[in-house]
Structure formats: C-alpha cells, structure tokens
C-alpha cells in the first residue's frame, strides 16, 4: 500500500502508467524499463514514480502487473467512488456532467446546481440540475466533499463560499479567478486560457524551427 507523499508531477504520470498497464501489458510481470520504453518516459523517472506507490521491483522480475495496477489505483484513490457536484449548468458544466470518463478515476457527479430556473430538471438522473437552494442540504445528505465551479467569474467566490458552508473541502475551479479559501480547503485552478496560450506558443516555436530548416518550403 502506498505511504509516501507523491509530487504533483508524479501524480500526473500515474494515470498514464495505469492506462498503459491495462491496455498494453499482457504478461504477468512488467519492468520499469518496459514501461519507460513503451511510454517514451525516462527510465529513472518511471522507477522513482513506481517506487513511491509500490516499492522497488524485484530483480529480473520487475513488478507483478496485477499488483502494480492495484497499487496505482490505491494511490489515485480509485478504489472508492468520490461523490461530487457541479455548480453552473452552462455549456461547460453540462459537458462535465455528461462526460463518462470520470468514472474510471472514481469521480461520480451526483448533480449540477444552477440559479436559472429554466435550466432545472429532474427527469434524467444522469443530467440532474437542481436549484441553488438545495445545495447545502444535498451535499450534507450525500456526503459530498468535492465541488466543481463552472460559473462566471463574478459569481465564483460566492459559490465557493456556499460550497465550503456545505462541507465541501476540495474545489475544482473553472472560473478565471483566484478563490479565497481557508487552509482546510484545497482548490485546483483550471486555466483554459493559459493552456491555449501554451499550445499557441508551442505551435509558434515549432513553426519557427521548421522555417529554419533547409528543407522548408513556404
């Protein structure tokens, strides 16, 4: 069982290892070098990451594939379902609510909340949109500790405050603003504009390198 603190960088690689083990490894054992080669990641990095969740591999054997998968799933918290709610039933909120890929990471969206009564619905349990008045009692009834914010910037802080009063301690924020929270609450800021800027810069650098190549033809 995993006991060590895992860095944010290593945590980001664990789902990649898990997907590779489940989709590409058919043998009962697997080595760090095989994983590194298959994913194009440095072997030293892979060894350090796996050591955090499963200890060192056995000489000449490496890791038992099934055991390694179990250890990574435990480290990622996938052995139990995490109930979550979304506040903001706009395009982003509805897309996240409808996305089925969260389930493989133990992330289960129970409902979406919105102040716009025209968006409220209760016919389809998988796309449940409830009024904001029900946020606090719903979260406490279902033991929700993870909330997703997909409202405009002007409403994000007030939504955050209501989530905290509802018992939520982990917040995934898509609003383009920094939230003020107590030390007992964790916020993961999702900056879509910054991600697009990184991609744009990468494309510009790639184009610049291509133009410097002797083989470049406009």
Average pLDDT over residues 52-76: 89
Map residue 198 onto helix, strand or coil: helix
Read off the pTM: 0.69
Domain 82-193 has CATH 3.40.50.720: yes
Which residue is listed with tokens 């979550």? 84
Asked if pLDDT for residue 214 goes beyond 80, the answer is no
Cα(5)–Cα(23) distance, rounded to whole angstroms? 27
Catalogue the E-assigned strands of the chain: 29-30, 63-64, 82-87, 107-114, 129-131, 146-149, 170-173, 186-189
pLDDT in tens, 161-205: 999 999 999 999 999 999 999 999 999 998 776 777 767 777 777
Question: Which tokens belong to 190?
Answer: 């999702």
Which residue is listed with tokens 């990184």? 198
Contact present, 171 and 150 (Cβ < 8 Å): no
Cα(44)–Cα(150) distance, rounded to whole angstroms? 39
DSSP line for 57-93:
PBTTTBEEHHHHHHHHHHHTTTTS-EEEEEE--SHHH
In this predicted structure, which of 15-24, 70-79, 94-103, 122-131 has the lowest mean pLDDT? 122-131
pLDDT in tens, 113-156: 999 877 776 556 567 899 999 999 999 999 999 999 999 999 99
- Residue 134's CB is within 10 A of a number of other CB atoms, namely 13
Cα(13)–Cα(95) distance, rounded to whole angstroms? 25
Q: What fold is seen in the domain 8-75?
A: Arc Repressor Mutant, subunit A (1.10.10)
Domain ranges of the chain: 8-75, 82-193
Average pLDDT over residues 70-86: 84
Cα(164)–Cα(67) distance, rounded to whole angstroms? 37
Map residue 149 onto helix, strand or coil: strand
Q: Which pLDDT value is given to residue 217?
A: 61
Contact present, 109 and 150 (Cβ < 8 Å): no
CA nearest neighbour of 86 among 179, 157, 187, 174: 174
pLDDT in tens, 28-61: 999 999 999 999 999 999 999 999 998 888 888 8
Contact present, 166 and 136 (Cβ < 8 Å): yes
């Amino acid at each position: 069982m995993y006991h060590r603190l895992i860095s944010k960088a290593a945590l980001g690689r664990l789902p990649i290892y898990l997907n590779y083990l489940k989709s590409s490894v058919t043998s009962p054992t697997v080595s760090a070098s095989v994983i590194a080669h298959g994913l194009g990641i440095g072997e030293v990095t892979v060894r350090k990451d796996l050591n955090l969740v499963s200890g060192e591999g056995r000489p000449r054997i490496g890791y038992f594939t099934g055991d390694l998968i179990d250890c990574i799933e435990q480290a990622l918290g996938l052995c139990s379902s995490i109930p979550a709610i979304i506040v903001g039933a706009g395009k982003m909120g509805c897309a996240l609510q409808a996305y089925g890929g969260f389930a493989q990471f133990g992330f289960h969206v129970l409902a979406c909340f919105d102040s716009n009564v025209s968006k409220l619905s209760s016919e389809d349990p998988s796309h449940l949109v409830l009024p904001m008045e029900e946020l606090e009692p719903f979260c406490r009834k279902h033991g929700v500790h993870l909330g997703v914010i997909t409202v405009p910037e002007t409403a994000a802080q007030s939504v955050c405050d209501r989530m905290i009063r509802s018992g939520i301690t982990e917040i995934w924020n898509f609003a383009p603003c920094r939230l003020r929270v107590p030390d007992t609450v964790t916020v993961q800021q999702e900056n879509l504009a910054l991600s697009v800027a990184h991609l744009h810069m990468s494309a510009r650098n790639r184009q610049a390198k291509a133009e410097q190549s002797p083989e470049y033809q406009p």
